[in-house]
Structure 1
Amino acid sequence: MDVRFSWVDVFAERPLTGNPLAVVPDADGLSDERMRAIAREFNQSETTFLVRPDLPGADHRLRSFTPGGAEVLGAGHNAMGAWIWLARSGLLDPGRDAFVQQIGGDTLPVRIVSRGEGGARVAMEQAAPRFPGPVDARDALAAALALDPADLAADRVPEVASTGVAHLLVPARDARAVDLADPDPARLRRLLADVGAEGCYLYTVDTAGLPPGVDAYARFFNPTVGIAEDPATGTAAGPLAAVLVRDGLKREGEAVTVEQGRAMGRPSRIGLTVGGGAVRITGSGVVVAEGTLHL
Structure 2
Amino acid sequence: MASAVPFFLVDVFADEPLTGNPLALVPDADDLPVERMQAIAREFNQSETTFLVRPTRDDATWRLRSFTPIGAEVFGAGHNAMGAWIWLADAGRLPAAESVFAQEIGDEVLPVRVTRRAGERSEVSMDQSAPVFGRTAEDRAALADALGLGLGDLADDAAQTVSTGADHLLVPVRGRDVVDRVDVDPGRLLRVLRDAGAEGCYVYSRDPIDAESVAYARFFNPTVGITEDPATGTAAGPLVAALVAAGSVAEGAAAVVEQGFALGRPSRLRVTVTGTQVRLSGSGLIVADGNLRL
Shorter-normalised TM-score: what interval?
Answer: over 0.9
Alignment correspondent of 1:255: 254
Give, as a single letter, the amino acid of the residue that structure 1 aligns with 2:164: T
Alignment correspondent of 2:229: 230
Show the 5 A alignment for 1:5-84: 5-84=7-86
Which digits, 9 at most, give the CA deviation of each residue in 1:30-71, with x for residues without a partner? 000000000000000000000000112110100000010000
Which digits, 9 at most, give the CA deviation of each residue in 1:185-226, with x for residues without a partner? 11111211222111100001134xx22311100000111111
Q: Aligned pair 1:157/2:153, yes or no? A: no
Superposed CA RMSD:
1.1
Show the 5 A alignment for 1:235-246: 235-246=234-245
Contact 2:153 2:174 in 1 (8 A): yes
Alignment correspondent of 1:135: 137
| Secondary structure at 1:245 match in 2 | helix
**Quick one: structure 1 residues 275 and 254, their matched pair in 2 at CA, closer, same or farther if it must change by over 3 Å?**
same
Show the 5 A alignment for 1:160-175: 160-175=161-176
**Quick check: 136-145 or 87-96, which moved more?**
87-96
Cα offset, 1:94, TM superposition: 1.6
Q: TM-score, normalised by structure 2?
A: 0.97
Cα offset, 1:117, TM superposition: 4.7
Alignment correspondent of 1:103: 105
**Quick check: 222-231 or 88-97, which moved more?**
88-97
Contact 1:44 1:66 in 2 (8 A): yes
| Secondary structure at 1:97 match in 2 | strand
Contact 1:87 1:115 in 2 (8 A): no
Separation (CA, whole Å) in 2 of partners of 1:226 and 1:277: 30
Contact 1:118 1:286 in 2 (8 A): no
Query: Sequence identity of aligned pairs in percent?
Result: 60
Cα offset, 1:166, TM superposition: 0.2
Separation (CA, whole Å) in 1 of partners of 2:10 and 2:103: 18
Separation (CA, whole Å) in 2 of partners of 1:276 and 1:129: 9
Separation (CA, whole Å) in 2 of partners of 1:4 and 1:115: 27
Which digits, 9 at most, give the CA deviation of each residue in 1:248-269, with x for residues without a partner? 0011101111000000000000
Contact 1:88 1:115 in 2 (8 A): no
Alignment correspondent of 2:204: 203
Separation (CA, whole Å) in 2 of partners of 1:218 and 1:192: 17
Q: TM-score, normalised by structure 1?
A: 0.97
Cα offset, 1:180, TM superposition: 0.6
Separation (CA, whole Å) in 1 of partners of 2:172 and 2:264: 22
Following TM superposition, where does structure 1 have runs of at least 4 consecutive aligned residues deviating by more than 3 angstroms? 114-119
| Secondary structure at 2:116 match in 1 | strand
Unaligned stretches of 5+ residues in structure 1: none
Alignment correspondent of 2:282: 283
Separation (CA, whole Å) in 2 of partners of 1:196 and 1:249: 25
| Secondary structure at 2:231 match in 1 | coil
**Quick one: structure 1 residues 129 and 284, their matched pair in 2 at CA, closer, same or farther if it must change by over 3 Å?**
same
Give, as a single letter, the amino acid of the residue that structure 1 aligns with 2:251: E
| Secondary structure at 1:263 match in 2 | helix
Give, as a single letter, the amino acid of the residue that structure 1 aligns with 2:270: G
Separation (CA, whole Å) in 1 of partners of 2:234 and 2:251: 19
Separation (CA, whole Å) in 2 of partners of 1:2 and 1:286: 23
Give, as a single letter, the amino acid of the residue that structure 1 aligns with 2:246: D
Cα offset, 1:133, TM superposition: 2.8
| Secondary structure at 1:75 match in 2 | coil
Separation (CA, whole Å) in 2 of partners of 1:145 and 1:14: 31
**Quick one: structure 1 residues 267 and 95, their matched pair in 2 at CA, closer, same or farther if it must change by over 3 Å?**
closer
Give, as a single letter, the amino acid of the residue that structure 1 aligns with 2:201: C
Give, as a single letter, the amino acid of the residue that structure 2 aligns with 1:186: G
Alignment correspondent of 1:3: 5
